[in-house]
Amino acid sequence: MAHQCIKYRLTEQGTIPDFIYLGEDGVNGVYGVVDPNASSPRNLIQVGITNNDATGDFEVISTKDELLAYLTTIGANWKQFDSANICSTTATPTIPFDYSAATDSVWGRLDALNAT
């Protein structure tokens, strides 16, 4: 096996699970959504990349298309910062979330990790 793109939750203690790859070239935990049917601290579902050959309590996102579909669904009403105004101290997210760019970013990092 190799590194994998996954959906995961924090541990019962509220910490990042050991199977998450935390290197600078990873993504840590991104694109979190709250699961209203779970209690804190396990109520936030995040996207991440596993350590090489990891096992644990997570759901694998097998393909780039699957990741794009997931982000499109969960981020339907999300906004992001406009890069033209990012340096402003009053900047707020105003433009629609770019699902394709987010997918490319995560999957590109995954591919790079698996190429080494």
Instruction: Please indicate, yes or no, whether the overall pTM of this predicted structure exceeds 0.75.
Output: yes
Query: Is the model's pLDDT at 35 over the cut of 90?
Result: yes
Count how many residues are written for the chain: 116
CA 66 to chain centre: 13
| Spans of all domains in the chain | 5-115
> How far apart, in Å, are the Cα atoms of 96 and each of 62, 63, 92?
26, 23, 12
Query: pLDDT confidence of 49, banded at 50, 70, 90?
Result: very high
Joined together, the tokens standing for residue 23 give 């290197």
> How far apart, in Å, are the Cα atoms of 116 and each of 6, 58, 64, 66, 113?
19, 23, 19, 24, 6
Q: How far is it, in rounded angstroms, from Cα 91 to Cα 83?
A: 10
Average pLDDT, stretch 36-57? 95
Q: Within a 10 A sphere around the Cβ of 90, how many other Cβ atoms?
A: 5
Please give the pLDDT value at position 37: 96
Q: What is the pLDDT of residues 54-84, one digit of tens each?
A: 999 999 999 999 999 999 999 999 988 877 7
